Structure 1
Amino acid sequence: MRSKKMTGGLERAPHRSLLQALGLTREEMDRPLIGVVNAHNEVVPGHIHLNTLADAVKAGIRMAGGTPMEFPVIGVCDGLAMNHEGMHFSLVSREIIADSIEVMATAHPFDGLVFIPNCDKSVPGMLMAMLRMNIPSVLVSGGPMFAGSARGKGADLITVFEAVGKAKRGQMDQAELDELECKACPGCGSCAGMFTANSMNCLSETIGLALPGNGSIPAPTAERIRLAKHAGMRVMDLLAKGIKPRDIVTEKSVHNAVTLDMALGCSTNTVLHLPAIFHEAGLDLTLDIFNQVSRATPNLCKLSPAGTHHLEDLHAAGGIPAVMTELVKKNLLHLDVLTVTGKTLGENLADLKAAVTDHEVIRPIDKPYSVEGGIAVLYGNLAPDGCVVKQSAVAPEMMKRTATARVFDSEETASKAILDGKIKAGDAVVIRYEGPRGGPGMREMLTPTSVISGMGLGSDVALITDGRFSGGTRGAAIGHVSPEAAAGGTIAYVREGDQIEIDIPARRISLLVDDSELEARRKSMPLVRKEIISPLLRRYARQVTSAAQGAVLSAE
């Protein structure tokens, strides 16, 4: 056992003395030591209840003969960090989470790990650490929030963001906005739609690193507590069988993850996180695979923001296993991949007798919402290395459009212009210098996209950025433009009034400016260099790679 580096032999008497100071007995030291990575804090609604789940995980570990040892990691609420300087630190936190777990689990050599994340960066950060450490591990998330309700209509956080635009245009009064604010987020859990946190929690289940139910069981339920106990027991079984994360994560499981991503209509942020996660396993996930799989995978679900359903509806309809049973009908999944149950994906589905119970929430494979998956990667002279759009949330009239560029060098200036009514139908709001390096930190653009929708422009205005979008974004929101402006990408040389051709079905995005003019602009238009005050952000900007590579940090 790894933990014997810390507990075994005569020369480890000082180490055992320190463990005795924790109240551990020699019997507990002789058992496998299991690190319990808990992202609990009193800031993030998705994390406020994680201590309850940590207690359940520890109970499961003890029931199975192990000794749990809990330690914390940070977590950022993207909603609270939105549209101010805090958002510079959100994506950065993913790397800090992974690194801090490596520190704790190497300095204190645990025999196994159970990871308890929930929100946007804690899930991919923990999965990155899991694959990097490669010791027996299970992930069990905090689960989704229940949807809210206001004036007889379903609501979630995105409803409130979009309501700001409605209030601005006089479509909603202050009293209604106040009521919505109070009722949209009724309690603990990750925000109720298929936003980034829930996307990653569902895909963790699909990859095989979390137990069935991880993605959809609502947060404040006894079922979620039972799942956490089972996660604690499962890690002990994985330890006994010698099954490690990299035994589970293979090229086949990568394909399964992207397939479910397309069927569910997940957040565009999965295109940022999946390459970073699989990079830790030595697997190369290029943007091309998203288009290849999307072409072959029908979109079976339209959860908020693409539709009106929420995660609780998906769970009631059979959850992720039910979605997978539909995909199996067209042989779209590899069923022979291993999972943390110790069984293959096919065996899990057979044991669960998974089936769809509501074909409005999970469409039959032969009657999908669309014949292609939820995400598309576009290429062209504006994005030679690619950019990403959640096509399942784009209005039909915006799937193919030539728009007039309205150019902004920051999210704040763009948001002000939108709120001041300066953006009109037919415009393409271009927000640049918000990429991984140029932001720095690749801020999410939920405020401008939600205000565009709230002001009734979602079917008439595109938003194009080298930054990224919240999983709650809908409309023709095209992000991750690569290379980014700060790296000298074409987006740095777009001018006010340029025409941009968007053709999502053809996977094309083009700046309608000839090559000679672009070359002249490259020589005459200097790149914007932002002053970066934070030492952390300065280091990050120097080390971060392109969004097309998952915005991982360079090892150089």
Structure 2
Amino acid sequence: MAMARHNKPSLMIYGGSIKGGSNLGKPVNISTCFEAHGALMYGKITEADLDGIVKNACPGAGACGGMYTANTMATGIEAMGLTLPGSSTTPAESPAKMRECLRAAEAIKICLEKDIKPRDLITKESLENALVSTMVMCGSTNSVLHYLAIAHSADIHDFTLDDFQRVANKVPVLADLKPSGKYMVADLVDIGGFPAVLKFLIHAGLINGDIPTVTGKTLKENVWGAPSLDPSQDMIRPLSNPIRETGHIRILRGNLAPGGAVAKITGKEGRKFTGKAMVFDKEDDLNAKIFNGGIDPNENTVLCVRYEGPKGGPGMPEQLKSSGALMGAGLRNVALITDGRYSGASHGFIVGHIVPEAAVGGPIAILQDGDMVTIDAETNSLSMDVSEEEIAARLSKWKAPRMKVNRGALAKYAYLVGDASHGAVLDMF
């Protein structure tokens, strides 16, 4: 975003991913800790088990190791041509990451000589590459906010929330990566890193290899020498055997989200869920309920956290404790919905970014305990079984709560920020 705003020759150097941890011979990572906490609360593991996981989950430096938000954005930005080849999957502590830092000087020189500026590279076509990358790699829902905000910073006005669903309809999930899969992002180095993946996707016609990049070459030229994916590896599935035939990120609409919502549904948890609403006005209240064993494992429940959106949060604070704890506790009868956002490490039946948010009087503000809620990834809908007349009656009685912050920069942010369906950006004029 900063590169797009100042629009001077620039490139991004990604800090790199962390290595996977190991505890008692089993792979662990940051999300394992949150899931283990939930497992402890429901009596599935001991304090000693949790302690071992926490001590071994993060064995060194680097971004969270699955296809969480950082790695999602790094692969997407590499697919946009804004980094050197391999930046997104070169581990943080590897000698190759130091060599990348040294090679950056040569690339910046080329950008200066050829006057290659960020807005020459951040285009509708390169953003499309980023969306394809996110679907193929089973990336984070946070990418929706970030790509929309990047487009806004680059004054690309024909890139919208609907583009995500359009791409999801035609692009499969191929990467078996955590949080819902088997491998860590650092493992991709063993099969040639992200350049090998890009080479495969360009050959398959899913990625546009003709876009320009910071090297002065096209994306296709950048990955020409990358190894081809070995058919015997199972980190990146062939097109003939996808993990999911279409994208896992779904844009939902309905009487609970007339302005849109974002779901992350791989298909492993099913594609439709209906349950009774249990409503919370802040994430801490939900966490307390979960950790006190207050969720019935025998009844389908849709847990709703509201007033956590761009204005209500303010700033959409990341939610991971609740989703991680539910997975660790083995509560597969539960879905989560919110006008806030989730960590990229979250998985399960989750929906975020509900628009309009509760703080501005969106329908989520008048959802009540016991209302039946349906999440449908086939029809891309999010609805409550409440009539239009009843919704209107409830909204007529709703009163906006006092803002959590009433002075300073954060209060100004809450006053000026737009909705999540447009990237939660500030439009001051």
The TM-score with structure 2 as length reference comes to 0.96
Where does residue 211 of structure 2 map in the other structure? 337
Tell whether 2:292 aligns with 1:420. Answer: yes
Pick the structure with more helix per residue.
1
Secondary structure of the residue aligned to 1:296 is coil
Where does residue 237 of structure 2 map in the other structure? 363
- Cα offsets for 1:408-440 (capped at 9, x unmatched): 100011111111222223000010000000111
Unaligned runs of 5+ in 1: 1-127
Shift of 1:286: 1.0
Secondary structure of the residue aligned to 2:225 is helix
- Cα offsets for 1:296-340 (capped at 9, x unmatched): 001110211011200111222222222223323431222211011
Shift of 1:358: 5.5
Rounded to whole Å, the distance in 2 between the matches of 1:409 and 1:168 is 22
Contact 1:389 1:477 in 2 (8 A): yes
Shift of 1:354: 4.4
- Correspondences of 1:522-533 after superposition (within 5 Å): 522-532=395-405
Q: Which has the higher contact order (CA 8 A, sep 6+)?
A: 2
Rounded to whole Å, the distance in 1 between the matches of 2:279 and 2:320 is 18
**How many residue pairs are counted as aligned between the two chains?**
426
Shift of 1:357: 6.5
Secondary structure of the residue aligned to 1:396 is coil
Secondary structure of the residue aligned to 2:200 is helix
Secondary structure of the residue aligned to 1:352 is coil
Distance 1:155 1:357, change over 3 A: farther
- Cα offsets for 1:64-102 (capped at 9, x unmatched): xxxxxxxxxxxxxxxxxxxxxxxxxxxxxxxxxxxxxxx
Contact 1:318 1:355 in 2 (8 A): yes
- Cα offsets for 1:482-504 (capped at 9, x unmatched): 11011111100101100111111
- Correspondences of 1:231-250 after superposition (within 5 Å): 231-250=104-123
Tell whether 2:251 aligns with 1:407. Answer: no
Rounded to whole Å, the distance in 2 between the matches of 1:357 and 1:188 is 31
Distance 1:157 1:532, change over 3 A: same
Where does residue 203 of structure 1 map in the other structure? 76
Shift of 1:538: 0.6
Where does residue 301 of structure 1 map in the other structure? 175
Tell whether 2:41 aligns with 1:168. Answer: yes
Rounded to whole Å, the distance in 2 between the matches of 1:142 and 1:356 is 27
Please identify runs of 4+ aligned residues in structure 1 that moved more than 4 A. none
The amino acid that maps onto 2:214 is: V
In structure 1, which of residues 188, 206, 220 is the aligned counterpart of residue 93 of structure 2? Answer: 220
The amino acid that maps onto 2:404 is: E
In structure 2, which of residues 355, 358, 364 is the aligned counterpart of residue 491 of structure 1? Answer: 364
The amino acid that maps onto 1:400 is: K
Secondary structure of the residue aligned to 1:212 is coil
Unaligned runs of 5+ in 2: none
Distance 1:356 1:488, change over 3 A: farther
In structure 2, which of residues 1, 12, 30 is the aligned counterpart of residue 157 of structure 1? Answer: 30
Distance 1:188 1:211, change over 3 A: same
Rounded to whole Å, the distance in 2 between the matches of 1:216 and 1:339 is 17
Contact 1:317 1:358 in 2 (8 A): no
Tell whether 2:259 aligns with 1:385. Answer: yes
Shift of 1:211: 0.9
* RMSD of equivalent CA atoms: 1.4
Secondary structure of the residue aligned to 2:323 is helix
Shift of 1:353: 4.7
The TM-score with structure 1 as length reference comes to 0.75
- Cα offsets for 1:207-259 (capped at 9, x unmatched): 11001111101110110000111112210111011111111122111111111
In structure 1, which of residues 438, 443, 447 is the aligned counterpart of residue 312 of structure 2? Answer: 438
In structure 2, which of residues 295, 307, 325 is the aligned counterpart of residue 451 of structure 1? Answer: 325
Contact 1:418 1:451 in 2 (8 A): yes
Where does residue 35 of structure 1 map in the other structure? none
- Cα offsets for 1:445-464 (capped at 9, x unmatched): 1011111111111x210000
Shift of 1:381: 1.1
Where does residue 56 of structure 1 map in the other structure? none
The amino acid that maps onto 1:492 is: A
Question: Between the two proteins, what is the percent identity of the paired residues?
Answer: 41
Rounded to whole Å, the distance in 1 between the matches of 2:76 and 2:268 is 26
